[in-house]
Amino acid sequence: MANPRDKSSLDRLAGLSYLNPAAPEPWASFVEQIERVRPHLGELERWIETLKHPKRALIVDVPIERDDGTVAHYEGYRVQHSLSRGPGKGGVRFHPDVTLNEVMALAGWMTIKNAAVGLPFGGAKGGIRVDPASVSKGELQRITRRYTSEIGIVIGPDKDIPAPDVGTNAMTMAVMMDTFSMNRGGTATGVVTGKPIALGGSLGRQEATGRGVYITAREAGRHLQLPIEGARVVVQGFGNVGGIGARLFHEAGARVIAIADHTATLVNEAGIDIPAALEHTAAHGGLAGFAGAAPIDIEDFWRLQCEFLVPAALEGQLTVDRAAGVRARVVVEGANGPTTPAADDVLRERGILVVPDVLANAGGVTVSYFEWVQDFSSFFWTEDEINDRLERIMVGAFGAIWKIAEEKRVSLRTAAFIIACHRVLEARAERGLYP
C-alpha cells in the first residue's frame, strides 16, 4: 500500500516560498486576481500584501490504525487566510489530490466570497489528502476525528467554522462537531455548519450552493435579456452543486443538454431528464450507465453550443485552450476557481460573460451563516424563510457587483474582488497592527 504522505507538502515546499506568486496553481491564480484589483484600491493599496499572505497555515499529521492493524499517516491542512472581518469560514475537503497550495487558494477565495456578499466572516479552508473511497467507514471516521483533534487549536464557533466540501458531507460535520465537543467538555453546535438537522443543522443548507448558482444565472440572464425558460444548459459536476443546480434549471424550464461527473460525460440535445439522472446517480454512485444520454468526449463537452455553461467540479477546469472553444453565452462558476486568469481573459475577449465563483457559489456559505446564527440563538427558521433570505442576499450582491462592473468597465469577477477587497482592507486598516 502506498504511503499517503509520499507527496509531502513539506518536501515539495523545501526551497520554495509558498507565498511566491510564481508558485504553482491555484494559489498563483488567486494572487493574480488580487493584483488586478490594485488600481482600484486607492489609499487601501498599502494593505494589499495582507491579501497575499495567509494569516495562518497549519499542516498536521493524521495517523490512524487501519482495520488490518497497520498504522497509516495522512496529511491534513487548515488555512486561515484572513480574520479581519470575523471568524474564519470555509469547507473541509477530503480528496487524494489535496495540497497546501490548493487549500491556501480556496481559503483566499473564501475571504473574497464572504466579503463580496457581506457576510461577517473571514476566509478559511481545510483538507486531508485521502481518497474517501479507499478507506472503510470506520477508518474514515477515525481520520476525521484525529484531524479535528489536530486542528482543534485553531477552530471554534468564534474562531474558525468548518463546513462540508468535496468528499465530505453532513455526517463528516457531525463527527467533527462531536469530536470538538468531547475535547471541550460541552456541546458546541456552532463549531461547524452543514450538520444534520438533528444536530443544529439548517433547513435549506444542502441545496443552498446549487440554488445560489441558479439564482445568479437567472439574474445574469435577466440583465442580458436571456430567459432561463428554453435555454440550453451544460453542467460539469453532478454532485451537491451541479446536480441541484441542474435540477433547478430543469424545473424552471431550461433544457439541460449535457452533464458530467467523474464517471461519465453525457449529452442529449433534446434535453436530459434531470430527476432520472439524479436517481441514477444516487443508486449507482455516478452517471456511468445512465441510459438517458449518450457519451461524449470531455473536450467536445466544453464546445457544446448553449446559453449557460456551469463548471461545478474542481478548480482549473476551464483552461485557455478550452475557453477558446466555449460556445456559451454565460459561464456560471459553480466550483471554486474553475477558470484560470488567462482563460478568463479569453472568455472576456470573446464576449462571454463569466459569473465568478465568489458570487455564483456563495449560496452555500450564506446559508451556513444562517445556520451559525441559528445555533447561537437556538432559534430556527423555516425553509421558506431560509430561501427568501438567501434570495435577497444573492440578488442584492449580484446587483451591486453588476453596477461596479458597468461603472468601472471591468469583469464581474474584478468587480466582486473590488467590493470584497475594499471591505476586507478597510477592516484591516481600521483594526491597525498589533503590537
The per-residue pLDDT for range 142-170, each reduced to its tens digit, is 999 999 999 999 999 999 999 999 899 99
Per-state percent for the chain, helix, strand, coil, to nearest 5: 50, 20, 35
pLDDT of the residue at 316: 84
Question: Parallel, antiparallel, or unpaired: how do β-strands 88-95 and 160-164 relate?
Answer: parallel
Q: What is the DSSP letter of 54?
A: -
Average pLDDT, the chain: 93
Q: Which of 26-30, 73-77, 181-185 has the lowest mean pLDDT?
A: 26-30
**Average pLDDT of 85-97?**
97
Grid coordinates of 392 = 435577497
Distance CA 390, CA 363 (A): 7
Q: How many CB atoms lie within 10 A of CB 198?
A: 8
pLDDT band at residue 431 under the 50/70/90 scheme: very high
pLDDT band at 11 (very low <50, low <70, confident <90, very high): very low
136, burial (CB in 10 Å: exposed 0-12, middle 13-18, buried 19+) = exposed
User: Is 352 a residue whose pLDDT tops 80?
Assistant: yes
R_g over Cα of the chain:
21
Q: Give per-residue pLDDT as tens, 103-139.
A: 999 999 999 999 999 999 999 999 999 999 999 999 9
Residue 41 predicted with pLDDT over 90: yes
Alpha helices in 200-310 (DSSP H): 205-224, 242-251, 274-284, 298-302
pLDDT band at 2 (very low <50, low <70, confident <90, very high): very low
Q: Kindly tell me if the per-residue pLDDT of 23 is higher than 60.
A: no
Residue 52 annotated in active site: no
Cell (9 digits) for 98: 489535496
Neighbours of 389 (CB within 10 A): 16
Q: Strand 255-260 and strand 232-236: pairing?
A: parallel
Same fold for the pair 54-188 and 206-360: yes
| Catalytic one of 89, 113, 125, 195 | 125
pLDDT above 50 (res 45): yes
Share of the chain above pLDDT 70, in %: 94
| For residue 3, pLDDT beyond 80 | no
User: Cα(307)–Cα(327) distance, rounded to whole angstroms?
Assistant: 8
Q: Which CATH number fits domain 206-360: 3.90.320.10, 3.40.50.150, 3.40.220.10, 3.40.50.720?
A: 3.40.50.720
Helices and strands in the chain: count of H runs, count of E runs = 15, 12
DSSP letter at 60 equals E
Burial class (CB in 10 A: 0-12, 13-18, 19+), 380: middle
Q: What pLDDT, on a 0 to 100 scale, did the predictor assign at position 26?
A: 86
Contacts with 91 (C-beta within 8 Å, 6 or more apart), sequence order:
106, 125, 126, 162, 163, 164, 165, 166, 168, 194
Q: What is the mean pLDDT of residues 369-386?
A: 96
Is 215 strand, coil or helix?
Answer: helix
- Partners of 62 in the beta sheet? 74
For the sheet containing 123-129, what is the strand order? 56-65, 71-82, 123-129, 88-95, 160-164
Given a cut of 90, whether residue 397 has pLDDT beyond it is yes
pLDDT of residue 412: 96
Residue 241: DSSP 8-state = T
CATH architecture group of domain 54-188? 3-Layer(aba) Sandwich (3.40)
Higher pLDDT, 29 or 255: 255
Region 352-361: what's the mean pLDDT? 96
- Write the pLDDT tens digit of every residue in 300-350: 999 999 999 999 988 889 999 999 999 999 999 999 889 988 999 999 999
For residue 355, the SS3 value is strand
**How sure is the predictor about 24, in pLDDT bands with cuts at 50, 70 and 90?**
low
Domain boundaries, the chain: 54-188, 206-360
Pairing verdict, β 56-65 and 71-82: antiparallel
